[in-house]
Amino acid sequence: MKRSHAEFLRRITLDPALIDALERDYTTVPIPRQERVMLEYVVNLTRDATTISKDDHEQLRSVGFSDQAILEITLIASWFNYINRVADALGVGRV
C-alpha cells in the first residue's frame, strides 16, 4: 500500500491499527466478507487486469455488489492505478 493511501485511510477510518494491519498483510485483516471479496478483486485487477473473468464478477455479485457497483469499483481502482503510475513516472513524492 502506498504511503499516501495509508495516510488517507488513517484520516478517514480513524483506525490506525486497521491500517497497520492492512500494510503488513491485507489477507489477514478481519474485515467483512463483502469487503474481502472486493479487495481481492481490486488486487487482482491491479496485478494483471487480463486475469479478471466473469467468475470474478459473479463472486462480487454473490456478496451483494450490483453491476453498477462492480463498474464503479473497477473504474476507481483503475483510475488509482493510472494516477499512481503517472506520479511514479514523474517522481512525485520522492525525496
Question: How confident is the model at residue 8, as a pLDDT?
Answer: 67
Q: How far apart, in whole angstroms, are the C-alpha atoms of residue 58 and residue 12?
A: 29
Residue 36's alpha-carbon distances to 13, 63, 89, in angstroms, are 17, 10, 30
Question: How confident is the model at residue 75, as a pLDDT?
Answer: 96
pLDDT digits (tens, 9 = 90+) for 48-87: 999 999 999 999 999 999 999 999 999 999 998 898 889 8
Q: What string of DSSP letters covers 51-77?
A: G--HHHHHHHHHTT--HHHHHHHHHHH
pLDDT digits (tens, 9 = 90+) for 4-16: 566 667 677 677 7
Q: Are 73 and 42 in contact (CB under 8 A)?
A: yes
Structural class in CATH, domain 31-95 = mainly alpha
Considering only residues 70 and 93, tell me which one the structure prediction assigns the higher pLDDT. Answer: 70
How far apart, in Å, do the first and last CA atoms of the chain sit?
18
Domain boundaries, the chain: 1-29, 31-95
